[in-house]
Amino acid sequence: MKITIERAALLRSLGHVQSVVERRNTIPILSNVLLKAENGELALTATDMDLEIVESVPADIARPGSATAPAHTLYDIARKLPDGSQVELDFTADTLTLRSGRSQFRLGALPVEDFPVMAGGDTGHRFSLSASDLKMLVDRTKFAISTEETRYYLNGIYLHASKAKTGAAEIPVLRAVATDGHRLARVEMALPDGAGGIPGVIIPRKTVIEVRKLLDEAADRIEVQLSDTKVRFAFDSIVLTSKLIDGTFPDYERVIPTGNDKVMEVNAGQFAAAVDRVATISTEKSRAVKLSLDRGILTLSASSPEAGSATEEIEVSYDNTALEIGFNSRYLLDITQQIEGEGVRFTLADAGSPTVVRDVADGSALYVLMPMRV
């Protein structure tokens, strides 16, 4: 294999694929990127056995062929080469030689046939959605993904087709849900064409993070292919294929309270800033902040044996009986960061029951937050 490629194009593609490669690998070939040159294109592939990304980029091919190279090393070299330079990659025997200007690097290459390739197979369901819609589904739910390995079925975003009630009518929607047992995020959008019969799937956290990184540079339409075991995202010249989490996502509808009768509305920005200030005092472990509600006034307070105490009052729209309830300040801030409108609505019951949080101006997202003792 012998090719010449622009440094900027190589760096951009390596940046995309190398983040899939784990820094520590017990299987040496998984530290490598597979380079395949044919038909005027260089295809770069990286995998961790659960997730595979393939990106094609135009290149001047003198001799078609394939090679492997250490992904992070190759990326670091490309990153340090001068802007606008041309890069020549020449693979012979078991060595990949990289030349650019007066620089030359010789990298040890492992056999191409050792590189694992994810089985293609039929993905069954196909639909497309806009990059902005997929971004919205991911951004508003990913903060609630659990990191607890024992409850592996919560380590991702649950994507499924459902129906949303609007008045007497039911509208088909595509729904993304994530929860860690302390908070839950549920976001929905109009069901794309072709997504009606999709199975409910749990997309792993690492896949969610990698897809989200790529979306900032993506074209407008994202093709999604789904089966019971795999999901594939395709856009521009990138195809990302991932295994799904093999587990059953809990019936999340059961934890969304429907009988909460106390409603508080507050400016999202003011509320988040006040929570952040008061939480400076709360202990690192609990991060607890107490909300004391009375007509028109919310008092936020926190205290810790070491740091002292803090209180702050803000005006709110609330016209019900007095209520005191505690929350983890980090969780409160995570949720209020998702609110794009000015107002946020809290629907509460009592100090021991889950609270529902919504954006006053946008009904597509719903958040549930468990209280804590303070």
CA dihedral 374→365→262→296, nearest 10 degrees, is 80
Whether 167 shows a pLDDT value over 80: the answer reads no
Q: What pLDDT score was predicted for residue 197? A: 87
Please, is 84 exposed, middle or buried when counting C-beta atoms within 10 Å of its C-beta (0-12, 13-18, 19+)? exposed
Rounded to whole angstroms, the Cα distance separating 358 from 264 reads: 11
pLDDT bucket at 102, cuts 50 / 70 / 90 = very high
Whether 119 shows a pLDDT value over 80: the answer reads no
Please name the fold of domain 125-254.
Answer: DNA Polymerase III; Chain A, domain 2 (3.10.150)
Cα 40 from chain centre: 33
Whether 324 shows a pLDDT value over 70: the answer reads yes
Give the CATH architecture of domain 256-369. Answer: Roll (3.10)
Percent of the chain at pLDDT > 70 equals 99
Q: What pLDDT score was predicted for residue 121? A: 66
Residue 250: other Cβ atoms inside 10 A: 16
Closest by CA position to 37, among listed 112, 94, 102: 112
Q: What pLDDT score was predicted for residue 93? A: 85
Closest by CA position to 82, among listed 4, 19, 11, 2: 11
Q: What pLDDT score was predicted for residue 306? A: 85
Closest by CA position to 68, among listed 114, 24, 99: 114
Radius of gyration of the chain (CA): 25
Q: What pLDDT score was predicted for residue 122? A: 66
Domain locations in the chain as residue ranges = 2-114, 125-254, 256-369
Same CATH topology for 125-254 and 256-369?
A: yes
Over residues 261-282, the pLDDT tens digits come to 999 999 999 999 999 999 999 8
Give the CATH architecture of domain 2-114. Answer: Roll (3.10)
Over residues 23-77, the pLDDT tens digits come to 888 999 999 999 999 999 999 999 999 999 999 999 999 999 999 999 999 999 9
For the chain, what is the mean pLDDT? 94
